Amino acid sequence: MSIRLRSEVVGDEDAIDVVNCTAFERMEEANLVRMLRAHYPGFDRRYSVTAWEGDDIVGHTLLSPVTIRLMGENVAALMVGPVAVAPGYQRRGIGGGLLRFGHEMGQRDGFALAFLYGHPEYYPRHGYRACFGLGKVTIDKDGLPEPKRKFTRMPVCPADLPWLVERYAAEWADVDFATLWGPSLGEWTMPCLNAVMWWTEDGCRAAYTVDKPGKERCRMLLADDPELARDVIATIRPGTLSHHPSGWLVRHALDVDWAAAEAERSEAAMACELESGALDECLRAVESGERLPGFALGSLPFLAI
Ligand X SMILES: CC(C)(COP(=O)(O)OP(=O)(O)OC[C@H]1O[C@@H](n2cnc3c(N)ncnc32)[C@H](O)[C@@H]1OP(=O)(O)O)[C@@H](O)C(=O)NCCC(=O)NCCS
Q: Given the rule CB under 6 A, which residues bind ligand X? A: 23-24, 83-85, 90-96, 118-119, 121-122
Rank residues 97 and 247 by Cβ distance to ligand X and give the closer one. 97
Residue 148 Cβ vs ligand X, minimum distance, rounded to whole Å: 45
DSSP state of 193: S
* Residue closer to ligand X, measured from CB, 122 or 258: 122
Nearest residue (beta carbon) to ligand X: 95
Dist CA 238 CA 258 (whole Å):
11
Closest to ligand X by CB, 121 or 201: 121
CA distance 102 to 289: 33
Provide the minimum distance between the beta carbon of 93 and ligand X in the complex, in angstroms, as a whole number.
4
Please tell me the distance from the alpha carbon of residue 14 to that of residue 81, in angstroms, as a whole number: 18
> Residue 94 Cβ, how far from ligand X at the closest point, in Å?
4
| CA gap 92, 290 in Å, rounded | 42
Q: What Rg value do the Cα atoms of the chain yield, rounded?
A: 20
* Closer of 99 and 221 to ligand X (Cβ): 99
| C-alpha dist (Å) from residue 203 to 151, 154, 165, 200 | 10, 12, 20, 5
Query: Among residues 23 and 222, whose Cβ is nearest to ligand X?
Result: 23
Number of neighbouring beta carbons within 10 Å of residue 274? 23
Q: How far is the CB of 274 from ligand X (least distance, A)?
A: 19
Shortest gap between Cβ of 153 and ligand X (angstroms)?
36
CB 117, CB 268: distance < 8 Å: yes
